[in-house]
Amino acid sequence: MLFGTLLDERRSFEILDHFVDAGGVWIDTANCYAFWVDPTGFGGRSEEVLGRWLARRPGVRDRVRISTKVGCEPTEAGRFPQTAEGLTAGAVKKGVQGSLRRLGTDRVELYWAHMPDPAAPLEETVGMFGELVSAGTVGRLGCSNYPAWQVDRARQIARAQGVEGFTAIQQHRTYLAPLPGTRPTVAHRFGAVSDEVLHYLQAYPDIALWAYTPLLSGGYTRADKPLPAQYEHPGTRRRLAALDETAAETGTDRNGVVLAWLAGGTPAATPIVGVSTVGQLDEAMAGIALELTAEQRERLDRAV
């Protein structure tokens, strides 16, 4: 997310090189990354860095799968979400063209509607996304920060139109649970995975779950990154104790256990981890590779 803004190109390339050389495949970005820290007030830097990295490593494009998004890029600096590009057919078409140009590629393996657009008819959005799949520009489709009912409605519309529908959901998910009635993701009303979403995914196993901010931006392990206020309740203490016990047994840390819990859960999640060092990347990949025992998973699940 922060490639080209808070993370300079040299370090971004170093992380990407290490990732792909270690067998990493999926790279997730968005056309709006990261407008909120870029002096211009607009996004595109992350995709531009990825494009230059792909150009520098001939052949690597066939080894990675790129996931990017449309819908959140501001059309006026400093006015998000009021001027977000949205998801009309024109906005989606313009968005994917810009992403492909910045990435220096003719396709992306997964394309996301970044957030719902109440001003765009769902039929129009679904139809345009379906056209991108039919044209070979996009492999699969996903929606991020959507309520479950709207995901289901979009899939019904896709079936009626005879086009490809959403087969992936991207929302915030982590091991800790926030206080009821609070929103752990400030920017998106439906940004967090709810029990209703999990129930929906269990009914439709063809839909993949991608989990963003799974490590709470360092809140599990770093003293300088305190947990958000939404997690200040007794249940958090019990869950952190379960994490610590499991981490001691597995020779890892809280982050590693959280990633293993997500990746091996039901439904399984693909954690999206934003790292700023190669060391953090190694730790994340070790967490994904960690297999929890049934007893450890039961302990983690029953701590509430």
Residue 186 confidence (pLDDT) above 80:
no
pLDDT in tens, 162-179: 999 999 999 999 999 999
The whole-number pLDDT of residue 277 equals 96
Euclidean distance between CA atoms 33 and 223, whole angstroms: 27
Residue 185 confidence (pLDDT) above 80:
no
pLDDT in tens, 198-236: 999 999 999 999 999 999 999 999 999 999 999 999 999
**pLDDT class of 159 with cuts at 50, 70, 90:** very high
Task: Please give the domain boundaries of the chain with CATH numbers for all domains.
Answer: 9-225+268-280 (3.20.20.100)
Average pLDDT of span 123-129: 98
pTM of the model: 0.95
Euclidean distance between CA atoms 94 and 30, whole angstroms: 14
pLDDT in tens, 255-290: 999 999 999 999 999 999 999 999 999 999 999 999
Question: How many whole angstroms from its chain centre is CA 275?
Answer: 13
Residue 184 confidence (pLDDT) above 90:
no
Q: Where are the alpha helices (DSSP H) in 162-253?
A: 195-203, 234-250
Residue 48 confidence (pLDDT) above 90:
yes
**How much of the chain exceeds pLDDT 90, in percent?**
97
In sequence order, the β-bridge partners of residue 171 are 211
Structure letter (DSSP) for residue 74: B
Q: Is 133 exposed, middle or buried (0-12, 13-18, 19+ CB in 10 A)?
A: middle
**How much of the chain exceeds pLDDT 70, in percent?**
100
Quote the mean pLDDT of the chain.
Answer: 96
Count CB neighbours of 195 within 10 A. 7
Distances (CA, A) of 61 to 74, 99, 107, 154, 234: 29, 15, 10, 31, 47
Angle between helices 234-250 and 294-302 (to 10 degrees): 170
Count CB neighbours of 203 within 10 A. 9
The whole-number pLDDT of residue 140 equals 98
